[in-house]
Amino acid sequence: MSFLELSGVAKNYGPVAALAGVDLQVESGSRTAIVGPSGCGKTTLLRLIAGFEAPDRGRISLDGKELANGDAAVPAHRRGIGVVAQDGALFPHLSIADNIGFGIPRNADRRAEHIVELAYIVGLDKAVLKRRPHELSGGQQQRVALARAMAMKPRLMLLDEPFSALDTGLRASMRKAVAELLEEAGITTILVTHDQAEALSFASQVAVMREGLFSQVGTPRELYFQPRDRMVAEFLGDAIIVPARIADGFAASRLGRIAVDTKERRDVARIMLRPEQVLIKRTSREGMSGTPDMLFGEVTDCEFAGSVCTVAVRLLNSPDPPDAAAIGNTPLILRKTGMDAPAIGEIVRLTVTGKAH
Ligand code: ATP
């Protein structure tokens, strides 16, 4: 049995099925990320696990003990679960130090040092400890909420968009620091986020949610490279999806003959590649002659965004199309490092690497 188990958990708000019967297993000491579009039920799921609300149906067990069993349900404050809500929810009348130390008994050994340590870990300056929450920025308040939850040494930590008020650089470093800290303390964690890159980098298990149900649960690599459907594929990043005919571990498509991760034969299929699997090399119209097995295109757009650029390429040929119409007019959306951004109108050679799904 897993450390945390949800089975058939459902919750309605009037006519809205916020959760439509979800199953989830979370192993002890692991990190799970839940991602999905706004309103799909992520926060509701955390609230039910935390015990702020009761499910209409289903079971939630933690460390072998049923938590949500009608009248015998374990109340939120006795679940040993730490929650960091989106808005931090700090105690406005307490100092930052007392907010962080809320769960540490007043007479505990080294209480003050422990508070300073926790503040340091979440990147808060010692100088802010005397202040009140309203004297801190949104990002600083989120860090106080995190430190407070850590201080309580929960068995399970629920993080609802805890990094959302931080700017990009700080967000990445905080995420890493918090992940390491949770790992060291052996705290099982569930993170809710809108940010697909955050989910993939933070967690060992990612669950993509849609309309109150999980579309797919798996490792970050499984979800990114082997998404179950188009929604999962597109939610976790840009995807190139093209029609293909599959046989003997290869797909014939407008992109030529590409290795696929299935042995199944399918005459009418779609394959998916991530943009970074298609390498772009500059060439010229002359460079296209005498190489019928290579794939060429013309750059129709190039959007520079610093370290990367997004390049739209209209295919000029197709070495092995499943049918004559398959080359199509829709440009492929690819990526290149910003430094090598090609110009609009340039001819490029495309090479597919890795396997399609
Ligand atoms: P977001 O990413 O925008 O925070 P979410 O995935 O966390 O969204 P939830 O907050 O769980 O989504 O909401 C799921 C659905 O349930 C939504 O349609 C929402 O409007 C509805 N809902 C949530 N809480 C309540 C409530 N207390 N009363 C009525 N409807 C609610």
Q: What is the pTM of this model?
A: 0.87
Domains of the chain by residue range: 4-233, 239-352
Residue nearest to atom 31 of ligand 1 (CA): 13
- Whole-number Å distance between alpha carbons of 200 and 184: 20
Confidence of residue 21 (pLDDT cuts 50, 70, 90): very high
- Whole-number Å distance between alpha carbons of 239 and 216: 17
Ligand 1: nearest atom to the Cα of 192: 7
Shortest CA distance to 14 belongs to which of 71, 51, 56? Answer: 56
Ligand 1: nearest atom to the Cα of 86: 4
Residue nearest to atom 28 of ligand 1 (CA): 13
Confidence of residue 45 (pLDDT cuts 50, 70, 90): very high
The CA 212 to ligand 1 mean position distance, Å, reads 10
Task: Using the predicted structure, report yes or no on whether residue 292 has a pLDDT greater than 80.
Answer: no
CB-CB contact of 279 with 312 (8 Å): no
Q: What is the DSSP letter of 222?
A: H
Residue at 120: amino acid letter:
Y
Which tokens sit at 103? 């769960």
Overall average pLDDT of the 293-313 stretch: 93
Shortest CA distance to 69 belongs to which of 55, 83, 52, 81? Answer: 55
- In this prediction, the answer to ipTM > 0.90 reads yes
Task: Using the predicted structure, report yes or no on whether residue 152 has a pLDDT greater than 90.
Answer: no
The CA 36 to ligand 1 mean position distance, Å, reads 12
Ligand 1: nearest atom to the Cα of 14: 29
What mean pLDDT is reported for the chain? 90
The CA 288 to ligand 1 mean position distance, Å, reads 54
The CA 15 to ligand 1 mean position distance, Å, reads 12
The CA 276 to ligand 1 mean position distance, Å, reads 35
Ligand 1: nearest atom to the Cα of 44: 11
Ligand 1 pocket mutation, candidates 13, 83, 158, criterion most atoms within 8 A of CB: 13
Overall average pLDDT of the 213-239 stretch: 95
pLDDT of residue 313: 95
Residue nearest to atom 25 of ligand 1 (CA): 13
Lowest mean pLDDT among 43-57, 65-79, 315-329: 315-329
Confidence of residue 121 (pLDDT cuts 50, 70, 90): confident
The CA 41 to ligand 1 mean position distance, Å, reads 6
Lowest mean pLDDT among 65-74, 165-174, 316-325: 316-325
Residue 57 CA neighbour count, 13 Å, CB half: 11
**Surface-to-core class of residue 320, CB atoms within 10 Å of its CB (0-12 exposed, 13-18 middle, 19+ buried):** middle
The CA 4 to ligand 1 mean position distance, Å, reads 22
Ligand 1: nearest atom to the Cα of 47: 11
Residue nearest to atom 27 of ligand 1 (CA): 13
Residue spans of beta strands (DSSP E) within the chain: 4-13, 16-26, 31-35, 57-62, 65-66, 81-84, 156-160, 188-193, 205-210, 213-218, 240-247, 250-253, 256-259, 266-273, 278-283, 295-304, 308-315, 332-337, 347-352
Superfamily of structural domain 4-233:
P-loop containing nucleotide triphosphate hydrolases (3.40.50.300)
Confidence of residue 326 (pLDDT cuts 50, 70, 90): low
Question: Hey, do 4-233 and 239-352 end up sharing a CATH topology, with the first three levels equal?
Answer: no
Digit-coded pLDDT (tens) for 165-206:
778 787 888 888 888 888 888 999 999 998 898 999 999 999
Cβ-based neighbour number of residue 6 at 10 Å = 24
Residue nearest to atom 5 of ligand 1 (CA): 39
Task: Using the predicted structure, report yes or no on whether residue 324 has a pLDDT greater than 80.
Answer: no
Ligand 1: which residues within 6 Å by Cβ?
13, 16, 18, 36, 38-44, 194
Task: Using the predicted structure, report yes or no on whether residue 321 has a pLDDT greater than 70.
Answer: no
Superfamily of structural domain 239-352:
Nucleic acid-binding proteins (2.40.50.140)
Residue nearest to atom 30 of ligand 1 (CA): 13
Ligand 1 pocket mutation, candidates 9, 34, 42, criterion most atoms within 8 A of CB: 42
Residue 200 CA neighbour count, 13 Å, CB half: 14
Q: Are strands 205-210 and 213-218 parallel, antiparallel or unpaired?
A: antiparallel
Q: Please list, in sequence order, all residues whose beta carbon lies within 8 angstroms of the beta carbon of residue 47, skipping any fewer than 6 positions away.
A: 53
